[in-house]
């Protein structure tokens, strides 16, 4: 079945440091890929997405590129802020196969990011 693997956390950085959170996936076909963010006490929010190979998703200074050849979707940000402290989840949706499963998201285990001033 489909699966998502994220780098082990937690990740602790100083403000303005460069961030990378690794994500790799296993799936057949062409899934869509996502990064979700969860701030303390809240639900998950979509941060960015990419629906086909070589697409780059971006939002709020975060970027991730859909790499089919390495089955990866690593999250990056050039300069993190204290307000970026949160849990980050990589996810994929089943590729369309004419059935009813392609709306389902499979999540990684989440990576806790803490940014210090």
Among 9, 13, 107, 114, binds another protein (CB under 8 A): 107
Q: Which residues between 81 and 100 bind another protein (CB under 8 A)?
A: 89, 93, 95-98, 100
Closer Cβ to another protein, 3 or 14, answer by number:
3
Q: Which residues of 83-114 are buried (b: 16+ CB within 10 A; e: fewer)?
A: ebbbbbbbbbbbeeeeeeeeeebbebebbebe
Structure tokens at 45: 């929010």
C-alpha distance from residue 58 to each of 55, 78, 96 (Å): 10, 12, 23
Distance CA 68, CA 55 (A): 10
| Min CB(117)–another protein separation in Å | 26
> Could you say which of 8, 40, 69, 103 contacts another protein (CB under 8 A)?
103
Binding positions for another protein, 9-48, rule CB under 8 A: 30, 32, 34, 36, 42-46
Task: Find the binding residues for another protein in span 41-60 (CB under 8 A).
Answer: 42-46, 49, 51-52
Where along the sequence are the contacts to another protein (CB under 8 A)?
30, 32, 34, 36, 42-46, 49, 51-52, 89, 93, 95-98, 100-107, 109-110
């Amino acid at each position: 079945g489909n699966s998502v693997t994220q780098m082990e956390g937690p990740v602790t950085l100083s403000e303005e440091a460069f961030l990378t959170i690794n994500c790799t996936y296993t799936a057949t076909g062409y899934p869509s890929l996502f990064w979700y963010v969860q701030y303390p006490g809240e639900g998950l929010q979509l941060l960015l997405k990419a629906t086909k190979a070589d697409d780059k998703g971006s939002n709020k200074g975060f970027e991730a590129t859909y790499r089919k050849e390495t089955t990866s979707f690593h999250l990056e940000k050039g300069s993190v802020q204290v307000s970026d402290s949160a849990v980050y989840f990589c996810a994929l949706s089943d590729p369309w196969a004419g059935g009813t499963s392609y709306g389902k998201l499979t999540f990684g285990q989440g990576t806790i990011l803490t940014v210090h001033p």
